Amino acid sequence: MVKSFRLYRDPVFLFFVVVSFFFLNTLVLADGPLSELTGTVTVNETPVPNAVVYLMPEKEGTLSVEPIEYTIKQKELAFLPAFSVVTVGSTVYFENNDDKIHNVRSNGPSNRFNLGTHLPETTKQVVLKNPGIVSVQCNVHPEMSAIIYVSPSPYAAVTNDAGRFKIRKIQPGKYTLVPWHQSLSRKEIAEGRRKINIEKAKETLSLGLMAMGGLDKDFTALTKIDWFSEVDEIASALETAFSRWKKKRHTSAATKVMRTYSVLYQESGLRKAIAKSLGEPRALELETRFDDIRKSVQGVKKGISASEIKQGIHALVSDLKKDAETIKGF
């Protein structure tokens, strides 16, 4: 008993007890009761599906966002699902379940990417690092499209066909509720924000939003599609082919040119865009110039100098850049 009494009077032991108490108390608070927020979103007094709502804490630095892994399938010339919500930093996998080649890309400002040629029965992936809308398209099949909303908060939900949503496992506190719907302008989204205090186990909310352009307005539609990234890739690939030719790797150089034409000019949709906006003769002319470069590096065309091949590549890339500027928006 004497030893026990002396132990409890020991300053080091007492310090350990106090620290342990506060540490355990913190854990209890952190793992305390979580809340749930349910509600309905209407736009112009109509319940809408595929509206996104998420919560941002008023106190900065208190939010922990866990990325997820998410799969979108390509089947029967469609992205499935066509609308998705993921958190910042998530990895999205694209599975090609069609028997056709696809080309998955996004020209949006938040997460711009181009996954290149996507062969049947293969999977490609992209990490979405920034919050915002990702408009996904296939250059080979323009009828294919999907929307991914990248949320900066783990407390996010998407409305169902009845306009209803549910956000689970919310840490109680003060938040700003942020809405999004494709019919809303940036100003209308800002006006739709709401302060909300999550206190009870279950909270409900009815959010009524106004879209001046009407429900048919789609602010996610890409009105400007450019092909500059494809042209830059073509320029880099043709430079690689030229470098191989200088090392007398003629077959490898020719293969590189043919693949550049097939993947980056044709399958990407660039050729189709040029033919649509500038005419089929222009698309065929550029096609012929690709083939001339291929014949030069393969050795089919005799007596061609390095400067002539270099000039042919430079002229082709220069004209492709001019065409990309001209067809921007088609």
Three-state SS across 119-162? Answer: CCCCEEEEEECCCEEEEEEECCCCCCEEEEEEECCCCEEECCCC
Read off the pLDDT of residues 255-308 as tens digits, 9 standing for 90 and up: 999 999 988 888 777 888 899 888 999 999 999 999 999 999 998 888 889 999
Domain positions in the chain: 43-209, 228-326
User: How far, in Å, CA of 297 to CA of 282, rounded?
Assistant: 23
Assess whether pLDDT exceeds 50 at residue 26.
no
CATH superfamily of the 43-209 domain: Cupredoxins -  blue copper proteins (2.60.40.420)
Q: What is the pLDDT of residues 125-137, one digit of tens each?
A: 999 999 988 999 8
Return the pLDDT at 24: 36
- Is the model's pTM score more than 0.75? no
Q: Is the pLDDT of residue 226 over 90?
A: no
- Cβ-in-10-Å burial (0-12, 13-18, 19+) of 5 comes to exposed
